[in-house]
Each structure stands twice: as C-alpha cells, then as structure tokens.
Structure 1
C-alpha cells in the first residue's frame, strides 16, 4: 500500500466551498449527486470527499465508504457529516495518488468534482484502478473542457494563471473523459450537460460510469 507525506492546505477554498456546494445543490446538483451513487453496493472509496456533501446520498446497499480527504479544514467537516450519514463512513487523511487501501479491495470508486483539482489525474485514476476489484465501477461527476475554441482558450488562460491558486487547485479545461479512458477504464454510461447554465468556462459537466477490466 503506498504511503505519502504530501500535505494539502487550502483554507480560503475550504471556507468557501461548503457554501458554494450547498448553493449548487439547491440549483440541481443534488440530483446529479444522487444519480451518480444510485445502485452502488459493497465497499466504496470516495476520493476527495471534501466536506462530505456526498455522504447523505449513498444507498443503503453500500456497506462502507472510505472517504479520502487531504485538506484539514474540509476533512473536519467531513467527519461531522460522516456521523450523520445513512451508511458507515470512515474519513481518512490521504491523497488521491496514494490511497490507503489494498489492491482489488473496493467494489466502486467515486470522484465528484475532484479530477479537476488533483495534481495528477492520471495517477489518481491509476490508484483508483489499483484498489478496484476486476469489474468494479468508477463513478465520476466532473466539469471539464469546453466545446468551443473560444471558451477552451479562456479555460487555458485561466488554468495557466490565477484560477488553480484561487480555487484549491481546480483546472477548468481538463479533458476528464479522455483521462478516464487513458487510465484503462471502459466507459459504460456518459451524460454531458451544462450546469447551471451554458456559455461559461465552468459550464461543461459530465456524469459517467466506467468499469475496471
């Protein structure tokens, strides 16, 4: 099992994100969160659990959630949310590319608005593949690259300058679907949509299910 001494600390983002996440939920994101987790069962690792906004939506067939969150302010909030969750949740201090789980020990892995901000999406997805059982599911709910050259240019400019520093490492223009496929997952379902409305660098969302061969 890999170990790491990496530390993550984004106090400004950690103070703003729970409020923004709540506003997004009321605007329709909660329905996507519920849909993302529907039908899951067994042992699940949630990578980048933040303040635990997903916990309330896990179905009862899930026997355990290993919730990985490296940011200390968010992790404290996640521990509070875990106590109210409808399924058992263990919140741990770890990073996406060094998951505290043994090989092929998980039935599912969940990324929810996380692959935009991890330092190395390929390494994070490789770790998810490592801990998943053969045939295990990867569930992802993310935002990413725009579909017009003009907005792609804006995303590239933002990602190369101020946005990751302001938003806890977030990158607006990553091609998440391509990252998932390059990691060796087979995408089974994929829904693309614009949230909360179109025409911005942050609008381009996707929700999908992929499997580990």
Structure 2
C-alpha cells in the first residue's frame, strides 16, 4: 500500500531547476561517482529525489529501487530513469517504513537524504532490516559542523527557518554516530567541505563513506 506523503512542490521545483544543477556544477557529480563506485547487485536508494545519482551507478548494478516520497521529484526521477542503462523502479514510500521484505538488497544508498527524513533513527533501522547480511550502506550527507561556533548556528537554523524553507532539511545532524548506533560497522568515512567557499556555510560539512550490515538483526529500544 502506498504510504501517505507530504508534497513540497515549491522546494521540489527549486531543487530540480536550480539547487540540484548548481550543486552538480560545483562538483557534486564527482562525489556521486565516488559514492557509488564498485556497487553491484540489487540496490535500494532512499530519498532518490529527481534521480541525479542514476547516471553514476556502475553497470554491475542489476536493479535500482528508488524510494522518493515527494511527488514532483519522483516524477522527475521516472523521467531520468528512462535515460539510465541500469533498470530503475521508483517507489512512493518513506525511508522510515520501507515496503520491502527483510534482507531484500545487496546495498543501500543514502545521498543527501538523512538530513531531511523525519526520523533518521527509524530510517537507518529500516535500511539495516532490508539489507542482506554483509550488505553495504553507502552514504553521502551534510552533517554536524566541526566547530562549536558553526554548531551553534546550525542549532538556531534547525530550530527556526531552515527545515520549512528547505523541504525538512536539518543542517546539524550527527549522521555518522547515528549510522553506527543503528547497528552498522563503519568501514570508510571521508570528511570534507562542499562546496568550496571562503565564507563558512551551515551545510558545508559532509561525510562520504561505507558501512556494513552485520549478520544478526538490529533492534532499537
């Protein structure tokens, strides 16, 4: 059954028409390629947006299930999928409640998504559930800043104007810790700032890496 979604049509159009292309011009495509390099088999991608990752998947991936709750972005993803060599299926679902059986996928991808989900703890638990033992979680996210001063700025923004303006996005989540707390073993984590700027930006601190699902189930209290 399709889960109810909350449209963000203005944000979706701005992201697809301006913000997304601007990030690609700044070099985000190179990070997407790094994120997805070496993947194979069946992959679930949460928060797939308008499908900007699709062209970067390697040919060893045999199936992509792209989960996107926002209708406008999902429609753009369907269009993007038609021009992608890897088979892509789109699903109108939320990351916190994935409509797939346990151990369904070889890998999972979270790209600029865990900042926006309503409940990142539930979303990560779901990714852990649908991955096969030994399956990889690939993640690329902007996260909590390194300096106390910028963390204070992030807390103020996240408590006020940022989420309503940017489709529920939060600037200061500690996603690396959350991934480990969800039962994954972090294997590689690269920390970097993006985009390059002389002026400190509240959503500049990023992580890109890989985590592995263990053999046993992970439960949350």
Q: TM-score range by the shorter chain?
A: over 0.9
In the alignment, is the contact (CA less than 8 A) between 1:4 and 1:98 conserved in 2?
no
Report matched runs for 1:110-125 at 5 Å: 110-125=109-124
Contact between 2:188 and 2:209, CA under 8 Å: does it hold in 1?
yes
After the TM superposition, list the runs of 4 or more consecutive aligned residues in structure 1 that deviate by more than 6 angstroms: none
Q: Distance in 2 between matches of 1:92 and 1:103?
A: 17
User: 2:219 aligns to what?
Assistant: none
- Distance (whole Å) between structure 1 residues aligned to residue 35 and residue 3 of structure 2: 31
Aligned CA-pair RMSD:
1.0
Q: Secondary structure at the match of 2:27?
A: helix
Q: Distance in 1 between matches of 2:2 and 2:97?
A: 6
Aligned to 1:26: 25
1:200 partnered with 2:198: no
- Does the CA-based 8 Å contact 2:3-2:94 persist in structure 1? no
- What is the distance in 1 between the residues matched to 2:205 and 2:79? 31
- Looking at structure 2, the residues matched to 4 and 95 of structure 1 have their Cα atoms a distance apart, in angstroms, of 9
- Distance in 1 (CA, whole Å) between partners of 2:77 and 2:160 is 30
- Alignment: residue pair count: 211
* d(CA) in 1 for partners of 2:20, 2:181: 29
Determine the structure 2 residue equivalent to 1:37. 36
Distance 2:147 2:34 in 1: 27
2:210 maps to which residue? 209
Counterpart among 4, 8, 11 of residue 13 in structure 1: 11
Q: Distance in 1 between matches of 2:119 and 2:2?
A: 14
C-alpha deviation, 1:4, in angstroms:
6.5
Which residue in the other structure is 2:217 paired with? none
